[in-house]
Structure 1
Amino acid sequence: MGSTDNFAFLLPAIMLVFGCTFLLLRRQGLREAGYWAAAYFLGVAAFSMPLLSGLFSPSILSPVADALFVSAFYFYSGALLFRFGRPGLVGGRLAFCGLSIVATSYSALVAENLPAELVINDLSCAALLTFAVAMSATHTRHVTDRLLLIIAALIVLDTVGRNVMLVFVVPSYGVSAEGFLSSNYDFMMQASASILSLLFGLAALGAAALDMITRYRDVADHDPLTGLLNRRGFDRTVAGRAGGAMGSVIICDIDAFKRVNDTLGHAAGDLVIRGLAGLLAAQLPKGAFAARFGGEEFVAFLPDITLAQAGAFANTIRLAFAAIDRSALGVDQAITASFGAAEHRPSDRSLHEQIGRADIALYAAKQAGRNRVMLEGEPPRDMPAIRIASVA
């Protein structure tokens, strides 16, 4: 068994492994993986054509392989465009593939011009990938994305360079379809395709795996009811801040929430919780973030905000929350919330010391009659504001 025969088995095996792996990722909900799986399975079929030479004439297998190759690159380009959120231009790419298949089939079956067939097929594949790389180059999100596009560009360069060298400069493609299978061109094609296919698949897998990890971490860090961060996500976000804990913290708690649940039911209680979460999310200044710490309690971190500014922000949220019309829930009085605020101190060893002082201020707000904002201090002081006790 010669080197070309080894490649004939090795390359489809490599591509089959990648195709099956991407198919499993597609079953896990990663839509992009479906494009990669289709591309690699088509590649398996294309590179397996020489294995059928004992059953069919190479002159028949050659245009079939051409059609499979260009179809594989249609899905490779589609995978890149989908990954980077670029327009798929499905109709245009399909029309281009159709023209390529017609041209290569004519070259192989009618004109019997092997060089023309090779050039048309290779450059069609390269054009599909070049289009996807050009459309996606400015939309990468991380280093894995950039690596994926670099390898795609290398595949284009390899394809174009191989055609220039082995077709035009030093013709090495054989004189017939049978001769092609034992030619230097076929060996070079399968050797470079094996290496680049392996690198391309690994880069695509790495990018897909990073997306999956990010997605699962995002789910793990967020509260499913409100979409805000949970306590774990809040701590991770604080730890990742370059500016540390400089700023102010607000803690808020819905007043008499147990009575809301007991009177209106848990479904209505969830709507009330979402209402407060929505106000927080909509009003947070740039760089700030909020979390649901549990039940009806929320914590917001406002970077580079003074205590007075934090108190004013909390009061805006308090007034807006109390003013929500909940008559559809059968409520004719306001549902209110109490707030406690604290700012960073040089002596704070962590944000949790600041949160602790805000929690003391919140407790003071509850003790003072609820529906108010209290600022940290010894004792905590009331934030002068208009009180809303009910709504029409």
Structure 2
Amino acid sequence: MGEIDLIFYVPPILFSSVALTFLVLWHMKITPAWQWSAGFAQTAAGFVISTFLPEPYSAAFVSGLIFIGAAYCYGSGLLAHFNAPRLRIPRLLFAATYSIVLAYLVFAEQSLVQQLFLTDVGFALLLGVAVWIVARRASRPIDIALVVTSSIVVLDCLIRAIFFTFFTTSSDDFGDFATSLYNLEVSVSTMTICMFFPFTALGASASAAIERHQAAAETDELTGLLNRRGFKRALERDFSSGCPRGSLIVCDIDYFKRINDTFGHAAGDKVIAGLAEEIRGLVAGRGSAARYGGEEFMAFLPNASLQEAVALAELLRVSFANRDWHHEGLNRKVTTSCGVSAVRDGEATLDCAIDRADCALYAAKSAGRNQVMAEITRAADLRIGDSRNLPALARSLGTTRSGAAA
């Protein structure tokens, strides 16, 4: 067996190994797209069939179908990786049309040159559409590398199709394919520039899996908000270059234990999810929010004044109190109480602001619930509420309130 013969064995072995690796990753739920494994497995099978199947017409037709199936799977893997629209129907219609034309060129025209041109162009178009769709979604270096290497595969197919169709005098006999210069070029290009494609796909899938694991570790499963750990990490990222500035809202659900005891924990979970939905809408684009534990939530609003945070907390209180819970099986009104504080000059962390917001929340609970209370930092802050109407406990904690008890 000569060196040239050995070259033809390398691509199927390499792609089979990559396909097996992706299959294991998919089975371990590290990558959600099984199409990567299917695409590389089909590519390996296509090389084997086109080169070693003794009946040339069947080899040309079957390998053509397999390669277009690989292009479809690669495109699906890309679209899934970047959470892009799958466009299944248009891409399947394209593959079906390709199959009909392929059958005609192989069995009616019996033209190897036209069949190879069709397969290369079809592969490039089917994969190229997916690359075009996801190109603007790539932001991480490994994702950009995946888009670049995918583009190289597309260009390799197009250049080969043009070169061997219009600039060479290749044999048109299907029996000559195995020993043709075209087959040698495909094997060589696959082992060189195109091998970057499967390895960047592996790298991008592994990187995405790591990010999903980190996100899961920092996200509350019930509400989709950050958990305590994720909230602290988000603040560390936001204020890594300086001291935090802004205001903090802490809130929890009034009489939540009664809801659980009366209507069950499933209803309690729905109430928690409902408040999380209100908070998510409140802070969207403004800051970070988290389920800090149990029925307690926390939101940080960078650069927001105490008065602005109080106003937002009041909007939250009113909106949540007006929710209709009958479709969730609750025949009662559900309310929330909030405590608000601002980060003071010289405070390098939110710890003290959180303590003050907790005190304000405690005051709101003690004063009757279903209200917003804010710390008093200066005499000017008294304009948030009327100090003459504050209960003694609120004054002793240095708070002022908004809203009415229920």
What's the TM-score, normalizing by structure 2? 0.82
Ranges of 4+ aligned residues in structure 1 off by more than 6 Å: none
Q: Does 1:136 align with 2:153?
A: no
For the Cα contact (< 8 Å) 1:290–1:298, is it kept in 2?
Answer: yes
Q: Does 1:247 align with 2:264?
A: no
Farther-moved stretch of structure 1 (109-118 vs 147-156): 109-118
Q: Does 1:235 align with 2:252?
A: no
Partner secondary structure for residue 404 of structure 2: coil
- Compute the displacement of 1:307 (Å): 0.9
| Residue of structure 1 in register with 2:150 after alignment | 152
- Compute the displacement of 1:11 (Å): 1.0
Tell me how far apart the structure 2 counterparts of residues 285 and 43 of structure 1 sit (CA, whole Å): 45
Query: Which whole-Å deviations, capped at 9, do the CAs of 1:246-269 have from their partners, x for residues lacking one?
Result: 110111233443344334433333
Tell me how far apart the structure 2 counterparts of residues 364 and 341 of structure 1 sit (CA, whole Å): 11
Paired residue for 2:405, among 382, 388, 391? 388
- Compute the displacement of 1:386 (Å): 3.7
Farther-moved stretch of structure 1 (308-317 vs 360-369): 360-369
The runs of 5 or more residues in structure 1 that have no matched partner are none
Residue 39 and residue 244 in structure 1: after superposition, are their counterparts in 2 closer, same or farther (change >3 A)?
A: farther
| Residue of structure 1 in register with 2:300 after alignment | 301
Partner secondary structure for residue 192 of structure 2: helix
Farther-moved stretch of structure 1 (247-256 vs 26-35): 26-35
Tell me how far apart the structure 2 counterparts of residues 325 and 50 of structure 1 sit (CA, whole Å): 65
Task: Give the number of equivalent residue pairs.
Answer: 385
- Compute the displacement of 1:116 (Å): 2.5
Partner secondary structure for residue 348 of structure 2: coil
Q: Does 1:211 align with 2:208?
A: yes
Query: Which whole-Å deviations, capped at 9, do the CAs of 1:288-339 have from their partners, x for residues lacking one?
Result: 221111112111111111112212222332334344455775665x544332
Paired residue for 1:169, among 167, 170, 179? 167
Residue 193 and residue 262 in structure 1: after superposition, are their counterparts in 2 closer, same or farther (change >3 A)?
A: same
- 1:63-212 to structure 2, matched below 5 A, reads 63-171=61-169, 173-174=170-171, 176-212=173-209
For the Cα contact (< 8 Å) 2:373–2:402, is it kept in 1?
Answer: no
For the Cα contact (< 8 Å) 1:238–1:244, is it kept in 2?
Answer: no
| Residue of structure 1 in register with 2:52 after alignment | 52
Farther-moved stretch of structure 1 (346-355 vs 313-322): 313-322
- Compute the displacement of 1:128 (Å): 1.9
Farther-moved stretch of structure 1 (238-247 vs 225-234): 238-247
Tell me how far apart the structure 2 counterparts of residues 6 and 261 of structure 1 sit (CA, whole Å): 70
- Compute the displacement of 1:272 (Å): 3.1
Partner secondary structure for residue 48 of structure 1: helix
- Compute the displacement of 1:15 (Å): 1.1
The runs of 5 or more residues in structure 2 that have no matched partner are 378-395
For the Cα contact (< 8 Å) 2:360–2:399, is it kept in 1?
Answer: no
For the Cα contact (< 8 Å) 2:374–2:401, is it kept in 1?
Answer: no
For the Cα contact (< 8 Å) 1:372–1:383, is it kept in 2?
Answer: no
| Percent identical residues | 36
Residue 7 and residue 374 in structure 1: after superposition, are their counterparts in 2 closer, same or farther (change >3 A)?
A: same
Farther-moved stretch of structure 1 (286-295 vs 128-137): 128-137
For the Cα contact (< 8 Å) 1:23–1:33, is it kept in 2?
Answer: no
For the Cα contact (< 8 Å) 2:260–2:267, is it kept in 1?
Answer: yes
